[in-house]
Structure 1
Amino acid sequence: MSNASEAAIPEPIARKLDAEFGSWPGVLADWAAANPDGDMLIDETKRLGWGEGWALVERIAAALQRDGLVRGQAVAILGTSGVDYALVYLAAIRAGGCAAPLTTSAAPKQLAAMMADSGAAHLFVERAKWAELQESGVDLPSLSVVMLDEGKGDLPALGDWMAEEGAIAEPVSPHVGDPFNIIYSSGTTGAPKGIVHAHLMRWRQAAGGFKSIYGTESRTLCSTPLYSNTTLAVFLPTLLWGGCAYIMGKFDAARWGEIAEAERITHTMLVPVQYQRLMAQPGFDDHDLSSLQYKFCTSAPFSADLKAGVLRRMPGALTEIYGLTEGGVVCMLHAHKFPDKLHTVGQPLPNHQLIVIDEEGNRLGAGEKGEMVGRSPTMMSGYRNRPDATSAMEWRDEAGELWLRTGDIGVIDEDGFVQIVGRAKDMIISGGFNIYPADLEDALMAVDEVADAAVVGMPSEKWGETPVGFVTLKSGSERDGAAIRDQVNAGLGKTQRLSEVLVLNELPRSHIGKVLKTELRAMIPERAG
């Protein structure tokens, strides 16, 4: 489709973006000089143009250097996403360090572990999160603390701490292997792992991967947190191509529609549950969303029915992105172009490779289920301070070439489209048979009264494991779990049958919409037979 954001890019900037590698801070500074009055960053309380916004980035970067930040050192950020959060993120990179956004949903003990692991000397934190850390009593590493929202006692506010007006940081030319950011895993099962992305990886993703998708007229609505790679996948290329990012501190379906209409939003990234909530919002179809050009989705299973609904009710292209924060293979499904492939996550991008292997590492053919491994020009540098975890993620082929394990079970069809069957760690082995939760979840979702569903394996003395379903019901339904179980089991093979179905008000989800199956398992450890 045509891209209305393809306004003329100044030739010097265009040449830089066409290069194999370049300086993120250098290009952003060029945009500030070329378009100082154009919108750069917006949230519910602030609106900064490129000139003003980049001047603040320089002042924060200069203060980091003043405080002794060394090349490649992390800068920890903890709080609600917004303009100030984004400025600190960009300033860390401008100063020659790397951004380490921390997961706000993590427990204080996990946050302390992330800070220590990152090696950060600075923590930029909002007042509420700092109070939570203090009240928890956890031991924090020695850090210079700067408050994102307002000062507290002897802890300075960002505006008071940054360098004087007009200050400019010392120039730093990034190297290809310099760390750009550290993204920490959700940490739902122990200590989070720090995924290190290098400058080259981020350059290839945003400069090469999104050419012709973003431009100076792009206006991206970011509605997931900036500590998530889901958000960074649209936030970073928007800015590298001279556009504007509107940052929602917390997703609200009603407010999203108002912002998208008022700000003439052209690009957005939403996770599946957000698409669901938007389209269930009364009056959603009354919003003028005609400016939308590109809608993206990633991070959680995106059902074919939901994709079809988005295509019917929201303008613009719809692209599902499948990939890992660690990098490796990226698949894209341009749903508006392939309506007969909505059950898939699309095909690998050019220069990205994906194969399916069995438990012995043998390659499988089209139509065969197995673990997916991938390789590409965009792969993580590794897990910070975790060579063991990095090695466990890697797989090498017959020629010794490095691939990354996805942890997902999938199948590639004759046309090269990839269908995800489930997570390898979630696969249920019952009576010696492999059961894929996705198959049972599809069966549960086919029940008219079911609004959402998840299946986990629970211990069973008789079978080793047995599948248990969790569902939420559509408004007005009063069916019980046993009736739903019996209906679904009637259409399943004997080895697949659900031992139980439990009805919940809602499924527990992470900040990016993934069902937290560890929490589901913890609900009924004693009930599976």
Structure 2
Amino acid sequence: MKLRAWPPAHATLAEVVADLGPLRDALSGAGPALCPPGSGDEPPASVPSAPDDLALVVGTSGSTGSPKRALLSAAALRASGEATAQALGGHGTWVLALGASHIAGLQVLARSVLAGTDPVALPEGPFTAAAFAAATDRAGGCHRLYTSVVPTQLVRLLDSPVGRAAGARYDAILVGGAALRPDLCARALREGLRVVQTYGMTETAGGCVYDGIPLPDMEIALDEQGRVSLGGPCVAHGYLGLPQLSDEAFRVDGAGRRWFRTSDLGSIEADGRLRILGRADDLINTGGYKVAPSVVEEAITAAWPAVRDVVVVGLPDPQWGEAVAAAVVLQQPTEGATAVDATAVDPTAEGATDLAELRELLREALPPHALPQRLLVLDELPLRGPGKPDRAALARRFG
């Protein structure tokens, strides 16, 4: 199976949208499989032992170490596109607000090809509410309008009257790439934005669980430790050139259904929806207790309204093994970054003014071992990939 580098490495989003022929050919089986550049080492010219209808070889975000390339068949991408249309109420026109080298942006293009509609791309440069609104206007009065964003982009839309007005015109705004905080989701819904929280990864052709419910023909399974596996027609065929890792992460059951074992922990709520608790390797082991960062993050945003964004990590600690550490971005960011243990953070911030006050705010919501022991106030969080918080870089910021 031959590979072709696409999209071009330095092409603008508008240039990519203007030339979707290679993607159409790949999805139909008429052309070579496509491999976006910039995913680690240069790929080989061909892929041995690939599925006959291999369409995309896409780099993962590298959350578990070195990025890997997932082998996605045309059948998997078509299944994902049709299931998405079924879940959202039909095919429509998509606005491309993400880069075209990651699966989320590529799926916007693939869904457009499958729908027979022309996607509209944002201009080059930083994401702004004004640019998003202009792209929304260019999409015109189409039958159904969709887009896909990451949480940081959603925050920028909500912070702008222009962004809120544009967002309210969409039939669905898929939000993925990183966890969507409950308070941010509630805020978007109050403003009339029809947000859909998606969960998935490159290995599942992008989001395959919408608002906790799997897409049609997809399934969720949890093992004894709560590790999440996803099964169905959207699952990739493995990793390029990594047979051992492929065997560890992918399997085919007796019914021929492909499964991918994620690195995430989850639970099934009383209403049957999947709740992601965080990555298994992000769990904080403090004093013999396991703490899920997402639980602490949700408690902080609920108790401290001035927090715009928060990420919780574990830091080495000689007494407890790991200390729970919270990094926050306030609605009105402070100048620079300040590491705080028991000193003032921001005397004007609503909620807590120092670590001790934050711990008091959280005592009714969290057990003592889950209360933050370190606090860091930043102007913005370090990110990697499509809007994911860079926890390793953040831990280094604590010093």
State TM-score, norm by structure 2: 0.82
Unaligned runs of 5+ in 2: 334-345
The SS at the match of 2:388 is: coil
- More displaced 10-residue stretch of structure 1: 261-270 or 454-463: 261-270
Preserved contact between residue 427 and residue 436 of structure 1 (Cα < 8 Å) = yes
Out of 69, 91, 107, which is 1:194 matched to? 69
1:281 and 2:138 aligned: no
The SS at the match of 1:321 is: strand
Query: How far apart are residue 176 of structure 1 and its match?
Result: 6.4
Query: How far apart are residue 510 of structure 1 and its match?
Result: 2.6
Cα gap change, 1:72 to 1:440, in 2 (>3 Å): same
Cα gap change, 1:182 to 1:395, in 2 (>3 Å): closer
Aligned residue number for residue 256 of structure 1: 132
How do 1:130-529 residues align onto structure 2 when only pairs under 5 Å count? 177-187=52-62, 190-207=65-82, 209-211=84-86, 213-215=89-91, 218-248=92-122, 249-250=124-125, 251-264=127-140, 266-285=145-164, 287=165, 291-314=169-192, 317-327=194-204, 331-333=208-210, 345-359=211-225, 370-394=226-250, 403-446=259-302, 447-475=304-332, 478=347, 479=349, 480-488=353-361, 490-491=363-364, 492-525=366-399
Query: How far apart are residue 395 of structure 1 and its match?
Result: 6.0
Distance 1:221 1:277 in 2: 16
Cα gap change, 1:241 to 1:402, in 2 (>3 Å): closer
Cα gap change, 1:289 to 1:427, in 2 (>3 Å): closer
Amino acid at match of 2:173: K
Higher strand share: 2
Amino acid at match of 2:180: F
Aligned residue number for residue 342 of structure 2: none
Amino acid at match of 2:274: V
Cα gap change, 1:438 to 1:92, in 2 (>3 Å): closer
Amino acid at match of 1:457: G
Aligned residue number for residue 340 of structure 2: none
Query: How far apart are residue 312 of structure 1 and its match?
Result: 2.6
Query: How far apart are residue 88 of structure 1 and its match?
Result: 5.6
State TM-score, norm by structure 1: 0.63
Deviations 1:255-301 (A, max 9, x none): 1123213432621112121111111024445x466652222222211
Aligned residue number for residue 114 of structure 1: 41
Query: How far apart are residue 469 of structure 1 and its match?
Result: 0.8
How do 1:37-52 residues align onto structure 2 when only pairs under 5 Å count? none
Computing the radius of gyration over CA atoms, which structure comes out larger, 1 or 2?
1
The SS at the match of 1:210 is: helix
Query: How far apart are residue 356 of structure 1 and its match?
Result: 1.6
Preserved contact between residue 89 and residue 99 of structure 1 (Cα < 8 Å) = no
Query: How far apart are residue 467 of structure 1 and its match?
Result: 1.1
Distance 2:115 2:206 in 1: 23
Unaligned runs of 5+ in 1: 1-70, 104-110, 122-174, 334-344, 360-369
Task: State the identity as a percent.
Answer: 25
Matched length:
367
